[in-house]
Amino acid sequence: MRTMEIPAQRQGLFWDVQAGRTAPPPAAVLLGWELVDVNPELGTIEVAFQAGDQFTNPVGVIQGGFLAAMLDDTLGPALVATLPEDQFAPTVDLHVQFLRPARPGRIVGRGRIVQRGRDMCFLAGELIGTDGKPVAVATATARIQTIRHQGS
């Protein structure tokens, strides 16, 4: 479910998925990724995840690896939404701090571009738990790359 309209003129991996021109990444589907809002001009994004019981550890809270994946799938799209269609930006470093236990349910991710260079970008963001309080924060570095298509 999307809460915003996707501009038809936007092209690239992020926008092609949002417009339904290409299938979403399997990892995003697994995490229940949903676009809430994105502002490419400001380099900000808000997404939501549906954290099911299958993400819990033995004490019933979301396992940290899933939270790290959610943060990666929040921060990366904040940058990728700004890129032209022939570029992508894989994460080269992700630093996560877990603040408190996260319970199953809807988890909101907010990400932003902190600083962008020609080919390196610094990102930051947070996850908000079902009670409206932060559960984890992260910083990341991504490398902007040109996509090489087969046969090129």
The pLDDT confidence band at residue 58, using thresholds 50, 70 and 90, is very high
The pLDDT confidence band at residue 148, using thresholds 50, 70 and 90, is confident
Query: What confidence score (pLDDT) does residue 28 get?
Result: 95
* 22-49 residue pLDDT tens: 999 999 999 999 999 999 999 999 999 9
What's the chain's length in residues?
A: 152
The token pair that represents 1 in the structure block: 């479910």
Q: Is 48 helix (H, G, I), strand (E, B) or coil?
A: strand
For the segment(s) 32-146, the CATH number from 3.30.260.10, 3.10.129.10, 3.40.50.300, 3.90.1150.10 is 3.10.129.10
Continuous H helices in the chain? 13-18, 26-31, 64-80
Average pLDDT for 68-92: 95
The C-alpha atoms of residue 34 and residue 96 are separated, in whole angstroms, by 21
Q: Is 70 exceeded by the pLDDT of residue 63?
A: yes
Q: How many alpha carbons fall within 13 Å on the CB side of residue 31?
A: 26
Average pLDDT for 41-64: 97
Average pLDDT for 115-133: 97
The C-alpha atoms of residue 12 and residue 18 are separated, in whole angstroms, by 10
Name the nearest CA neighbour of 137 among 56, 36, 64, 80: 64
Q: Is 60 exceeded by the pLDDT of residue 72?
A: yes
Report yes or no: 43 and 96 within 8 Å, Cβ to Cβ.
Answer: no
Q: Is 118 helix (H, G, I), strand (E, B) or coil?
A: coil
